[in-house]
Amino acid sequence: MYRVIIVDDEPVIRRGLRETIEWDALGLEVAGEAADGAEALKLIREIRPEILITDIRMPEMDGIELIREVKKLELNIKITILSGYSDYDYLKAAIRLGVDNYLLKPIDNDELISNLKNAVSEIEKEAAISLQIRQGTVLLRSNTLRRLVTGNISPEELKEKAEFLHIPLDAERYLCAVCSMNRQIPAGIREPFFRDVIAEKSSGRQMAFMDGDGNLALLLIYDEVPEDRQGTQQELEELAEKAVREREIPLMIGAGKLAEKIGQIRDSYESAKEALEYGAFLKNGGVIWYDEVPETSQTEQIPDRIDYDRMKDFIRRGEQEKLKEYLSNELNAMTAEAGVSHHRIRNLIMHIAVRMTDCFRTIYGSMNAFREPTDFDFARLFTLHSYDDMREWLFQLCDELFAANRALLGRSTSIVGLAVDYIMEHYREGVTLRQVAADCHVNTSYLGQIFRKETGSAFTDYVNTLRIQEASRLLGDPTLKVYEIAEQVGFTDYHYFLKIFRKVTGKSPTDFRN
């Protein structure tokens, strides 16, 4: 990805540029933002971007002075300036300094995209001409191949790039493979190995590059239609053995479908990723092919057969190891029945983690009281790529919740516990504080006061957060529309759902799903 820095003293303009342009599809990433030239100059020295988009009129250091300072750094940066109609004198000065493009405010997105495409094209042509700068060539090839396997490059642009990158477009067959090491392994060990492979397989009939998920991807090119997969299997096994021999680390490789033409390479890549995700649960390194993945729907949810009443009994009795043993047995049975899938296992374990946390909350009180002392990293689950690691993550959460529980024994939570039980059962409906108070046989005002005191949340905030947690899980099912999910978790007003979802998660449902 080529790096972009955006400079403008108006936050709404910076946010608009960042959020309305599909940077990934252009082979770009927003690497930094600044509100004035002085702040931007520091970022440019640190990040060394390929593209700079800057306003002219800004406090501290304006755009003209920033451009002068950037030119002194002698970096090959494509500069686009943003100008108002009243900035004519500034504009002339900028042109004299050799900027590449200028746009008038308000900014036309189509015009900006066109300018960015031109900038990318110029950057890549310059990189190709300077073949002695190997790093630039590797970046150019990786960027092109990454866009090829994700379908984000036009045939015309691909043809132009292929000529000077020596990517054959007239081969008989193509095949993608995707390789991964356990993400728990330090980057200082993984990345040098990947760089070595990319350097070795940078041209000819095997091309290696880093994909957008941080995995090593291979594009294999065949001059003749292979009679079978034996030769490819041997090549991939040799790569896996090389990882063990040189780094003492298992390498998992997913091999995709054979593609008959360039346009089918994306399908080959996607099937290789599915094979890799499946293989990560079954093997500790080695090669797995796309057609070894069970034909179960990737969108089908694994049925949750955990008995949560039994879980509560384990918790009440303080039977920590028995609960983990029970969870382990049920998880093994559920995944064996369903045919494991990377995303489905993760969704299931996150669902169990949320329900287990709710069980503790029901019995012992405030969720905040559990999270603060343990500082448990919920987000880490989304970095794990093996069933064993995900299951261990769940057990670690279990251990930390029990540890927090022991510090909270004796806390009076009986009424709030009953209230939480009622909410858990009815939150998908239009549950109100009055309904819950009636069920608990207490005054509405009194329940509201002790509920906030015990849980640290107002009743409405608590219910909405619970609904958003369930909505986040359901977003893992691509067959469900966002408005359907909103209705399923108890929101009758779709716009209110969007507002609460962004408030709780910091993202829109669409961004969260992607």
Give the per-residue pLDDT at 123.
87
Residue 33: predicted pLDDT: 94
Read off the pTM.
0.43
What is the Cα–Cα distance from 271 to 256, expressed in whole angstroms? 5
Summarize the confidence of residues 324-331 as an average pLDDT.
91
pLDDT digits (tens, 9 = 90+) for 17-60: 998 899 988 989 999 999 999 999 999 999 999 999 999 888 88
**Which of 173-177, 212-216, 287-291 has the highest mean predicted lDDT (pLDDT)?**
173-177
pLDDT tens digits along 453-473: 877 888 888 899 889 988 988
pLDDT of 84 strictly over 60: yes
Token duo for residue 74: 């002698």
Q: What is the pLDDT of residue 373?
A: 34
Among 261, 272, 284, residue whose Cα is nearest residue 216: 272
Instruction: Look at residue 366 in the predicted model and tell me its pLDDT.
Output: 40
With 80 as the cut, is the pLDDT of residue 192 above it? Answer: yes
* pLDDT above 70: residue 342: no
* Closest of 212, 209, 214 to residue 182, by C-alpha: 214
| Helices 494-505, 459-474: inter-axial angle, 10-degree rounding | 90
Is the pLDDT at 320 greater than 80? The verdict is: yes
What's the full length of the chain, in residues? 514
Average pLDDT, the chain: 82
Percent of the chain with pLDDT over 70: 86
Residue range 242-281, pLDDT digits in tens = 988 888 888 899 999 999 988 899 999 999 988 887 776 5
What domains are there in the chain, each with its CATH number?
2-129 (3.40.50.2300), 167-292 (3.30.70.270), 308-513 (1.10.10.60)
- Lowest-confidence region among 203-212, 242-251, 375-384, 494-503: 375-384
AA letter at 311:
M
pLDDT beyond 50 at 410: no
Question: CA 215 → CA 29, 318, 341, distances in Å?
Answer: 18, 42, 18
Measure Cα distances from 442 to 14, 120, 348, 437 in Å: 51, 66, 36, 5
Please report the pLDDT score of residue 413 as a whole number: 46
